[in-house]
Amino acid sequence: MGALIVEIAGTPAGDALALALALLSALAHAIFGAINKGGRDPYINRGAINVAYGLIALPFALFVFPPPTPELWAALAGVYLLHIVYEWLQARSYEIGGFTVVYPIARGTGPLVTAIAAGFVFGEGLRAGQWAGLLLLSGAIYALAWANLRALGAADLAAAKQLRTAIATALLAGVMISAYTTWDAYGIRLAADPFTFLAWFFVLGGCGFPLIAAARWRRLRPQDRPALNDLAVRGLFGALIAFLSFGAVMLATRVGHVGEAAAIRETSIVFATAIGVLIFRERIDGLRLGLIGLIALGAVLIKVG
């Protein structure tokens, strides 16, 4: 399978596969975000998910795929550090902000910065129509966050200050999304077999954020800690979704263009808004429905522009 991925990279078949993988990742990431946001504590949720996918990936990394080269180990070290920072910022934003506010802000920031970074790192440029689609997509995502923020409101000064902190944290998370997307694309292209990179990505992830989650667990009062059986189920289900979310988008950047894949993946906001309404009971109106339509239109322009 890894050889096939390498073979079709840069071909029309690779472009078609990249589109399918980016859309699959978008749906999976919206579900992943809801799993992380739900439950009692987003830090512990994320720690449980990372432990689960690290343990599942370990035998594949050790016994199925070729070992990493020294150059790939160096890239994986950068992956480890970037993702710990991103995961902490994401968990923090979920802790203090509404899902339909912080999720769009983070996801709207990522593709813009990634498209610029991909031009410098990989020499990939977007055409004028694609830039128009990218600006439309990110602008509509930001507008959706503003509309959600306006609907949410703030009852007092303390709540308003918390909202501002949540927005700033989500913006930083968006910058980290761009950083790790670009670095992950660099790393997976270093690997002779892209599944070597993916397997060790998940193994290292199982050794990173869980340390933060464990410290968080110790600070919580016993009555505030989630039940271990519920946490195990959430961790296992989240791990399976993470394989689709992160694995699919990394493969998309391997067979297609990094900037395109990163932007199309952010149609996850369409799915995330639906989850916010159906699961978290966050309301939606005609304005936000229209903005979701513009996000979808921006994604279409990115692909055909």
Q: CA 31, CA 210: separation in Å to the nearest integer?
A: 20
CA angle (256, 34, 17) in 5-degree steps: 15
Check if the beta carbon of residue 241 is closer than 8 Å to that of residue 31: yes
Distance CA 257, CA 292 (A): 24
Question: At what angle are helices 12-37 and 228-255 packed, to 10 degrees?
Answer: 160
CA atoms of 18 and 130, how far apart (whole Å): 16
Q: Quick one: pLDDT at residue 286?
A: 81
CB-neighbour burial class of residue 85 (10 A; exposed 0-12, middle 13-18, buried 19+): middle
Closest to 183 (Cα-Cα) out of 83, 267, 104 = 83
Angle at 251 between CA 174 and CA 179, to 5 degrees: 25
Count of residues making up the chain = 305
Cβ atoms of residues 45 and 36 within 8 Å? yes
Give yes or no for a contact between 254 and 10, defined as CB atoms under 8 angstroms apart: no
- For residue 178, count other CB atoms closer than 10 A to its CB: 21
Tens-level pLDDT at each residue, the chain (305 residues) = 767 787 787 788 888 888 899 989 988 988 887 777 666 788 888 899 999 999 999 999 999 999 999 999 999 999 999 999 998 998 888 888 877 778 788 878 888 788 888 888 888 777 888 889 889 988 888 888 888 777 666 555 566 677 788 889 999 998 998 899 899 999 999 999 999 999 999 999 999 889 988 998 998 888 888 888 888 998 999 999 999 999 999 999 898 888 888 888 878 878 877 777 777 777 777 887 888 888 888 888 887 76
Structural Rg of the chain based on CA atoms: 19
The rounded distance, in Å, linking the Cα atoms of 185 and 188 is 5
The DSSP symbol for 222 reads G
Give me the numbers of helices (H) and strands (E) for the chain, helices first please. Answer: 13, 0
* pLDDT in the model for residue 128: 86
Distance separating the N- and C-terminal Cα atoms of the chain: 31
In whole angstroms, give the CA distance from residue 254 to residue 59. Answer: 23
Q: What is the pLDDT of residue 75?
A: 96
Q: Which residues touch 18 (CB under 8 Å, ≥6 apart)?
A: 251, 252, 253, 255, 256, 257, 260, 261
Report pLDDT for 157.
57
Spatial separation of the C-alpha atoms in residues 32 and 244, rounded to whole Å: 10
d(CA 39, CA 45) in angstroms, rounded, equals 7
